[in-house]
Each structure stands twice: as C-alpha cells, then as structure tokens.
C-alpha cells in the first residue's frame, strides 16, 4: 500500500523500497509545532504557504495554555493562520488532539500522502493513507513547497487471527505485537495490519493499531481501506477509492498472531515492549489512572469507562483523570450522560489535550507515583518525573484498576 501511495504522489508508475521520491502532499497538519516551524519557514523566503486549503492546524498540546509563554505561542499560531488564509484552523473550543481531529473531520482519505508535525501521525494510516510524522524544518519546507522527499520504506505485514477474550481489544493486541517484535523492529518500515481480526475491527480500534506503530519505530502504519473505512468517511462526501496490497505483494517480514481467547495485556515500566499478561501484574498499587490521548480516548473508550464506573467509586487515594480526544467526543459524552457517571464516581473529566500524555500539564506525575494509562508511551519521564512508574493498558484495564486502587484484570471487575 505504501508503494502505491508514494507512486501516485510522485507521479511515477511504480516505486521500490529504498528509492527516494519527491511526493506531492495531499494534506499537511500541525499543532503547536507550527510555532517552531515559523523561523525556518521565514528563512526559506516564501511569503505564502503553497496551498492553505491543504493545511489543517489545531491547538492540542497545551489547552488551555498553562503559562504566558504558551499563550503567546498560541497567539503567533492564530496570527499566522489568519494571515495565510488557513481556514481549517481549529482554535480552543473547536479543538482536539490533532490525529483524532483529522480522522473524525474526514480530512484524510485513502491514497492520500498525509504529513503531520507529530510522531503519531501514523494513526491516520488506518484510513488507507500514507501518514507520516516530521519535524519543524521539514514542516516548514512542506508549507512552502507542498512537497516532501521520502525514502520508500520496506513493508512489514502483521497478520492477526482469532477472537479476543472478554474485555480485551485492539490496545491489548498492539501491546502484544510490540512485546513480541520489540520497540524498534519496524524501524522506518511501513507496517500493514491484516487478517480476520483486523478486518472485523471498527475504525476506532484500527486507529489504535496504526497509532502505536510509532512505538515499533515504523515510518507508517496502514490498514486496507474497505467497507468499514467507507462507512466511517461517508459523511465527508469525498469520493471513496479502496486501497489494499496486491495478492502477490512482497513483504520484508510477516508476523502472524493468533489472539483467539487472548486476555488483557499490560506494558510495564519503562518500555512499551516490556509486556506481561495482566495476571502477572495484578495487585500493583497505583496512584493515578489516566484515560486519554490520541490512542484511546474516543467515545467508545469513554463508554467502556462509564460501563465499569456506573454505581462504583474510584478507590481512595487514586486520581482518575479522563481526557477526551476531541471536543466532538466531549460533547457526545455530555449528551450520553457519561460525564455525570464519571463525576459521580469521583473521576475528573478535562478539556481535550495532549497535556498529561507527554507530561506537559493537567496531570504530571511526581517521582514516587505509579500510573496506569491508556497512552502510547511509558519511557522514563514521559508523563512527568523520570522516576515515576507508568503502565500501559486498555481502557478496560485502566478503569478497573482505578476502581480497585491496583492493577486489576477487567474480566473480574
């Protein structure tokens, strides 16, 4: 799939792994990284962005701004978007974690070359796009020219079969994959997920798989665009064109996983690949439970939390923070009465932001604290103090643990 997209984007009949191509970008999206790209953009000397209609910007890492410096950064972003005529600027109040916002607003489509100024841009590959993250300097170049040079990646296939056990989902699957392959096994590769389990997943679960290919070292994660994708994107009115790998496609490596009956998994400190079944870490005391991030904070995840929390209380001494991935999800949670369930149980519900996930604000961890989180990374210092201990798990496991004050198998909750 990645070769098909890059061939289209570079206006060539075909491309091969290792080849360098200049691709025309279909969509560039940015968050606060835009502020860091302004200096190199100005140094290029181009006064206008190449196409304001192909750029999306939102504020997500520090929302609301916690310091005067961050507030000033937000001002510079607003000013730039206004002067450049970037209409798809989502300011505070209409914001969301950028990857979720791109997905739910239908800005990315199959066959697109999507470039984002964030490492978890991989998530958007779940719609059949080639979606890759870049840094500030490359972002400036794309803003100016609308093109990006890319090395065509080799492709690794991950074939998943079987019916998952109770209260187990895509987060458990991708943790199992990373625990098996390691956190750098797919370095600069395209990871394609396939198999009956993947095909049966709804889009919210597919996003989880592609999101965490970043924790495999991948350049992109992709899933074939099929009827599930078509229905998810139907509201956009955009012409849908399916994409998948050819039957005779060549893969550098194939991993096959039989997840039939598999239960919840937990990534232990301080590496997403440090995996154990939940049974092996049950009873570990926690101080914080966090349900949020671009990985697992969609409305389906919040419904899971509400299902377990209804009529229950968060354990004494535990802080349970729930942060929806976008304002659209926030409003849906209000409409469904989920927020009342969370607050009745003693959980805290916040604005949509990346803040706690990267240790920026709205819930950083102290040095002696233990957290179980639905986020995608648990490297030292990721959520605050470098000596804090972070366990990664599914919304089921995070919520069950918040109720019991210790890591808990959600099948017993």
Q: Where do the structural domains in the chain lie, given as residue ranges?
A: 2-241+249-256, 267-412
pLDDT tens track for 294-322: 999 999 999 999 999 999 999 999 999 99
The owner of tokens 């800005």 is 107
| CA 52/CA 250 separation, integer angstroms | 37
Are domains 2-241+249-256 and 267-412 of this chain identical in fold? yes
pLDDT of amino acid 208:
98
pLDDT of amino acid 284:
98
Q: Please tell me whether the overall predicted TM-score, pTM, comes out greater than 0.85 for this model.
A: yes
User: How would you classify residue 106: left for phi > 0, otherwise alpha for psi between -120 and 50, otherwise beta?
Assistant: left
pLDDT of amino acid 309:
98
List Cα–Cα distances, 175 to 167, 212, 393, 410, in angstroms.
15, 8, 8, 16
pLDDT of amino acid 193:
98
| CA 307/CA 48 separation, integer angstroms | 49
Check whether the bond before 37 is cis (ω within 30° of 0): no
Q: What is the dihedral of CA 352, 354, 356, 360, to 10 degrees?
A: -120
**Among 3.30.499.10, 3.40.50.2300, 3.40.50.1100, 3.30.70.1900, what is the CATH number of 267-412?**
3.30.499.10
pLDDT of amino acid 390:
98
pLDDT of amino acid 86:
98
pLDDT string in tens for the chain (413-residue length): 999 999 999 999 999 999 999 999 999 999 999 999 999 999 999 999 999 999 999 999 999 999 999 999 999 999 999 999 999 999 999 999 999 999 999 999 999 999 999 999 999 999 999 999 999 999 999 999 999 999 999 999 999 999 999 999 999 999 999 999 999 999 999 999 999 999 999 999 999 999 999 999 999 999 999 999 999 999 999 999 999 999 999 999 999 999 999 999 999 999 999 999 999 999 999 999 999 999 999 999 999 999 999 999 999 999 999 999 999 999 999 999 999 999 999 999 999 999 999 999 999 999 999 999 999 999 999 999 999 999 999 999 999 999 999 999 999 98
Report the SS3 class of residue 151: strand
> What CATH number labels 2-241+249-256?
3.30.499.10
pLDDT of amino acid 413:
82
pLDDT of amino acid 382:
96
List Cα–Cα distances, 178 to 122, 250, 311, 333, 409, in angstroms.
15, 22, 35, 31, 20
């Amino acid at each position: 799939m990645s070769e098909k997209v890059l061939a289209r984007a570079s206006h060539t009949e075909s491309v091969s792994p290792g080849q360098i191509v200049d691709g025309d970008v279909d969509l560039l999206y940015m968050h606060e990284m835009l502020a860091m790209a302004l200096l190199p953009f100005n140094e290029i000397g181009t006064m206008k962005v190449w196409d304001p209609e192909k750029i999306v910007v939102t504020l997500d890492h520090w929302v609301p701004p916690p310091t005067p410096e961050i507030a000033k950064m937000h001002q510079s972003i607003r000013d730039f978007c206004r002067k450049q005529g970037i209409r798809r600027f989502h300011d505070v109040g209409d914001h969301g974690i950028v990857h979720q916002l791109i997905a739910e607003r239908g800005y990315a489509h199959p066959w697109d070359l999507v470039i984002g100024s964030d490492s978890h841009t991989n998530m958007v590959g779940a719609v059949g796009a080639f979606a890759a993250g870049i840094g500030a300097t490359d972002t400036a170049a794309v803003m100016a020219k609308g093109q990006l040079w890319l090395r065509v990646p080799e492709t690794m296939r991950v074939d998943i079969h079987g019916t998952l056990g109770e209260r187990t989902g895509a987060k458990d699957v991708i943790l199992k994959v990373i625990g098996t392959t390691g956190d750098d096994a797919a370095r600069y590769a395209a990871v394609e997920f396939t198999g009956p389990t993947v095909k049966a997943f709804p889009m919210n679960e597919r996003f989880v798989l592609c999101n965490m290919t970043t924790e495999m070292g991948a350049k992109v994660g992709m899933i074939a665009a099929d009827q599930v994708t078509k229905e998810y994107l139907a509201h956009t009115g955009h012409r849908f064109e399916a994409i998948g790998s050819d039957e005779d496609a060549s893969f550098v490596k194939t991993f096959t996983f039989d997840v039939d009956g598999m239960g919840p998994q937990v990534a232990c400190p301080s590496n997403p690949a440090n995996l154990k079944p939940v049974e092996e870490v049950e009873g570990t005391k926690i101080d914080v439970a966090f349900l949020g991030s671009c990985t697992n904070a969609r409305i389906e995840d919040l419904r899971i939390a509400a299902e377990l929390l209804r009529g229950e209380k968060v354990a004494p001494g535990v802080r349970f923070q729930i942060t929806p991935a976008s304002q659209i999800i926030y409003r849906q949670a209000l409409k469904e009465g989920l927020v009342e369930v969370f607050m009745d149980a003693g959980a805290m519900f916040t604005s949509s932001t990346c803040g706690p996930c990267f240790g920026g604000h709205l819930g950083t961890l102290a040095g002696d604290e233990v957290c179980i989180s639905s986020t995608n990374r648990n490297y030292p210092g990721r959520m605050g103090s470098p000596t804090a201990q972070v366990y990664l798990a599914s919304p089921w496991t995070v919520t069950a643990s918040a109720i019991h004050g210790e890591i808990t198998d959600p099948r017993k909750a």
